[in-house]
Amino acid sequence: MNESVSLTDLRQGVRPVDHPAVRTGRIGVLLLNLGTPEGTSYWPMRAYLKEFLSDRRVIETPRLLWWPILNLIILTKRPGPKGRDYASIWNNERDEGPLKTITRNQAERVAAHIRSIAGDKVTVDWAMRYGKPEVRERIQALLDQGCDRILLVPLYPQYAAATSATACDQAFRALMDMRWQPTVRVSPPYHDDPVYIDAVVASMKKELAKLTFEPEVILVSFHGVPKEYLLKGDPYHCQCVKTWRLMREAFGWSPDKFRMSFQSRFGKAEWLQPYTDKTVEALAKSGVKRMAIVAPGFSADCLETLEELNGENREIFMHNGGEEFAYLPCLNDSDDGMRVINHIVERELQGWI
């Protein structure tokens, strides 16, 4: 370094002439969601499934058993059918999955909100745990803009190791390779946050008011995980149950009318119960003719809501005697949805802005 710089200059932040350029003093916010394939054809689907199902947080089966199953069976047979499922909900205008479209919109709306509070001091970005945009790439982009403090916001109301934790893992892997790490905060799960519960209930009431029928039963469906994960200490199940209970109390409905279940299981192991598809089938066979289903554990509509709930489970209900079925959309980038995300971001940035 140039030793001619005076002590006064150093105190005033003046750098020697040969000092490398450094951008600091800004704050970054990174919204994190699950991910989506880059296309619906075989190879993009295979790449996405391989990254997702190779994650040890998602599949805890010993590698010696899992790798042959994954590489010789699943990655050979599943890309085709899954690609067709994605094609049924694909955003053809932007050539991307709806989860990517919605998460981008959420980030843009958060940026506008924070700009109204903190001016241009904060940069808001978004990334996907699996697929693109990559977490490492977007953290580096924030650093390049001078963000020496970054708030990570996993967009999962209920914490699970296979969702919130693995998103943070990916961010921490990027930090491990950095000489100058930013200061990092992680927003906590918000399964019982009054703003979140109020927004979900308000959104549901608006959607229910649009229906031409009154549901006899509303089913609250959360993404499932193997029961073994609960027994190992994952708090996900308990947080889902609390969300459901708070929603039910807000509506003032009985457990018979306002039920909960878990969807998206695969494999032969026992998952969290009751299962959504089995519950829908049982409701129809018991004589329920009108039902609605909602998925408050998803911050944005995706394959599991648009194709699985609104497609597969609608078909199950109608095939077994049901007559009226409605899927109530996620909060997405609606005003209610943004009220939740803006609340979380603004709260977790306290002391920084």
pLDDT of 135 over the 80 cut: yes
> Rounded mean pLDDT of 24-37?
95
Could you check whether the bond before residue 189 is cis, i.e. omega within 30 degrees of 0? Answer: no
Domain ranges of the chain: 26-190+336-348, 194-328
Could you read off the pLDDT of 334-349 as tens digits, one per residue?
999 999 999 999 999 9
**d(C-alpha 133, C-alpha 136), whole Å:** 9
pLDDT at 267: 84
Fold identical between 26-190+336-348 and 194-328? yes
Could you read off the pLDDT of 116-126 as tens digits, one per residue?
999 999 999 99
Asked if 11 and 26 count as a contact pair (C-beta separation under 8 A), the reply is no
CATH class of the region 194-328 = alpha beta
Task: Output the pTM of the full model.
Answer: 0.92
pLDDT at 266: 86
- Both tokens assigned to 92: 């053809």
> Rounded mean pLDDT of 186-193?
98
251 in the Ramachandran plot: left (φ > 0), alpha (ψ -120 to 50) or beta?
alpha
Selection from 196, 288, 179, 183 nearest residue 239 by Cα: 196
Selection from 114, 110, 90 nearest residue 101 by Cα: 90
3-class SS letters over 184-245: EEECCCCCCCHHHHHHHHHHHHHHHHHCCCCCCEEEEEEECCEHHHHHCCCCHHHHHHHHHH
Binding-site annotation, residues for Fe(2+): 223, 304
- Both tokens assigned to 195: 């703003």
Asked if 187 and 345 count as a contact pair (C-beta separation under 8 A), the reply is yes
Binding-site annotation, residues: 223, 304
Report whether CATH 1.10.3720.10 matches the domain 26-190+336-348: no
